[in-house]
């Protein structure tokens, strides 16, 4: 069988306009249409066609380049610039404009606040298209690396140790310089020593600034590359990173709200994320669901008081841990007497309240406990067995009971298929394992674009490019 041979010298009759290069059902048209719907001034982006001075690139075109590039895992400004020369869909999208990588990087950096609003506008568009109902919301989070290293993470203790070593090395260099001055004069070795001395002095000044900032702000840690990132613990170990949060609507799994925080866990995020999502939808939701990582009685109480049904399990309900013979659940609370009764029948009276921990303390006397045959198993404390009861313990009991209801179990079973998919698409399909920008404003802008990219991909699946 003959092979089809390539012929690079063959002359072609190309179409007369770029418009004819892209088919009507090409996905790039959906991204183009989405950005065209955005009001740049409402986003907070400067848009003035009458502006005098050196001509600038149209912000609409720049935003299209970013959104479309992120949608296909092209985030680097250098790679975006290359795509504008070699990728036909990028050439069509930008109308053959070719901003360089510095222009793209500067646009992204200078419009972080505006880019943060893109996801909100995308979610509102989905609401207008009746693709987001806002009745049942799922909240989830994931850890993403920051554009920084743990090597640049400083504590006061580390700063002081490092400064001590630097002072010692500087003294050694100065002594060596004096010796070389006396013996050898201005030779190459002396020049090298002075270069190292200059380097160590600059490093000392940098570490000293970090220590001064830690002491003035009262912080425990500071990353000199990205001061707003935190030390995150995940399955791949510890790294400098951020905690990305999303709120997904049940109807079609579209992202209603996205955020990034620097908390290492999710316990304080449930109420904030649900409230922000309701602000976007413009009306309260009926059900809010999350995994056990969001379980915090005080935070859940805030959402419950707003009239929203909370479906969040406790750690015990997820792990299904069997309660031991002297677990807290084996102690019976008698509300009328305000006492706990232990498995041996002894009453633990109320001793006091810690408002900081929002807990009431019940303790049996040490004498009674030491006489008990279960002493050493129930408790080893000579002061007696202690039980802590949360101030909002009745609410916690009610939420745990409601979670076990069949309706709540059905909602919770749908959580994974709805809220895990966006993070899977962002991390696996788009290859995003770290942020490019630094600071909370920067990473929130990136998260907004990534969330919008997922929503647009879902819109194409649901409605098609024409729709």
Residue 79 located in a structural domain? yes
Please tell me whether residues 141 and 166 are part of one structural domain: no
Tens-digit pLDDT string for the chain (467 aa):
577 767 777 777 777 788 888 888 999 999 999 999 998 888 888 777 766 667 788 899 999 999 999 999 999 999 999 999 999 999 999 998 999 999 999 999 999 999 999 999 999 999 999 999 999 999 999 999 999 988 877 777 777 776 777 777 776 666 777 666 666 555 555 566 667 667 777 776 766 776 677 677 767 777 888 888 988 887 778 889 999 999 999 999 999 999 999 998 999 999 999 999 999 999 999 999 999 999 998 999 999 999 999 999 998 888 877 888 899 889 999 999 999 999 999 999 999 998 888 899 999 999 999 999 999 999 999 999 999 999 999 999 999 999 999 999 999 999 988 999 999 999 999 999 999 999 999 999 999 999 999 999 999 999 888 87
Please tell me whether residues 22 and 92 are part of one structural domain: yes
Residue 262 located in a structural domain? yes
Residue 313 located in a structural domain? yes
Please tell me whether residues 309 and 373 are part of one structural domain: no
Residue 310 located in a structural domain? yes
Please tell me whether residues 98 and 28 are part of one structural domain: yes
The helix or strand, by DSSP H or E, that contains position 140, with its residue range, turns out to be strand 136-145
Please tell me whether residues 22 and 47 are part of one structural domain: yes
Please tell me whether residues 209 and 284 are part of one structural domain: no
Please tell me whether residues 277 and 309 are part of one structural domain: yes
Separation of alpha carbons 156 and 218, rounded Å: 10
162: left (phi over 0), alpha (psi -120 to 50) or beta: alpha
The residue range of the domain holding 368 is 327-384
Residue 248 located in a structural domain? yes
Residue 76 located in a structural domain? yes
Please tell me whether residues 139 and 168 are part of one structural domain: no
Please tell me whether residues 188 and 64 are part of one structural domain: no
Domain tally, the chain: 4
pTM of the model as a whole: 0.85
423: left (phi over 0), alpha (psi -120 to 50) or beta: alpha
Please tell me whether residues 302 and 359 are part of one structural domain: no
R_g over Cα of the chain: 30
Please tell me whether residues 306 and 332 are part of one structural domain: no
Segment 240-272, tens digit of pLDDT: 999 999 999 999 999 999 999 999 899 999 999
Segment 388-447, tens digit of pLDDT: 999 999 999 999 999 999 999 999 999 988 999 999 999 999 999 999 999 999 999 999
Please tell me whether residues 281 and 422 are part of one structural domain: yes
Residue 447 located in a structural domain? yes
CA-closest candidate to residue 286, choices 304, 266, 299: 304
Residue 390 located in a structural domain? no
């Amino acid at each position: 069988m003959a092979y089809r041979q390539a012929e690079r010298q063959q002359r072609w009759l190309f179409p007369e306009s770029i418009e004819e290069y892209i088919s009507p059902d090409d996905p790039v048209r959906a991204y183009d249409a989405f950005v065209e719907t955005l009001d740049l001034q409402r986003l907070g982006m400067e848009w003035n066609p009458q502006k005098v001075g050196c001509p600038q690139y149209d912000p609409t075109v720049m935003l299209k380049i970013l959104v479309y590039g992120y949608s296909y895992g092209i985030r680097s400004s250098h790679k975006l610039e290359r795509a504008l020369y070699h990728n036909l869909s990028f050439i069509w999208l930008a109308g053959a404009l070719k901003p360089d990588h510095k222009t793209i990087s500067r646009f992204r950096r200078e419009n972080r606040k505006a880019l943060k609003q893109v996801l909100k506008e995308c979610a509102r568009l989905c609401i207008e298209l009746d693709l987001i109902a806002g009745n049942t919301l799922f909240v989830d989070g994931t850890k993403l690396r920051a554009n920084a290293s743990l090597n640049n993470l400083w504590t006061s203790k580390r700063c002081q140790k490092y400064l001590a070593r630097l002072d010692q090395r500087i003294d050694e260099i100065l002594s060596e310089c004096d010796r070389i001055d006396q013996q050898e004069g201005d030779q190459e070795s002396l020049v090298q020593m002075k270069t190292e001395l200059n380097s160590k002095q600059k490093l000392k000044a940098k570490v000293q600034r970090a220590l001064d900032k830690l002491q003035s702000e009262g912080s425990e840690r500071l990353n000199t590359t990205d001061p707003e990132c935190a030390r995150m613990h995940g399955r791949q170990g510890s790294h400098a990173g951020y905690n990305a949060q999303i709120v997904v609507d049940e109807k079609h799994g579209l992202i209603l709200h996205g955020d990034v925080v620097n908390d290492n866990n999710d316990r304080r995020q449930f109420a904030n994320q649900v409230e922000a999502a309701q602000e976007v939808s413009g009306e309260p939701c009926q059900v809010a669901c999350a995994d056990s990582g969001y379980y915090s009685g005080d935070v859940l109480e805030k959402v419950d008081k707003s009239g929203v049904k909370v479906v969040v399990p406790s750690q015990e309900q997820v792990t299904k841990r069997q309660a031991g013979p002297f677990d807290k659940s084996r102690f019976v609370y008698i509300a009328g007497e305000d006492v706990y009764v232990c498995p041996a029948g002894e009453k633990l009276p109320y001793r006091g309240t810690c408002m900081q921990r929002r807990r009431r303390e019940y303790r049996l006397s040490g004498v009674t406990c030491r006489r008990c045959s279960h002493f050493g198993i129930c408790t080893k404390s000579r002061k007696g067995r202690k039980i802590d009861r949360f101030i909002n313990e009745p609410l916690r009991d009610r939420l745990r009971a409601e979670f076990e209801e069949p309706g709540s179990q059905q909602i919770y079973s749908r959580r994974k298929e709805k809220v895990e998919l966006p993070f899977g698409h962002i991390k696996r399909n788009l290859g995003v394992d770290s942020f490019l920008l630094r600071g909370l404003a920067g990473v929130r802008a990136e998260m907004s674009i990534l969330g919008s990219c997922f929503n647009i991909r879902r819109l194409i699946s649901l409605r098609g490019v024409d729709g």
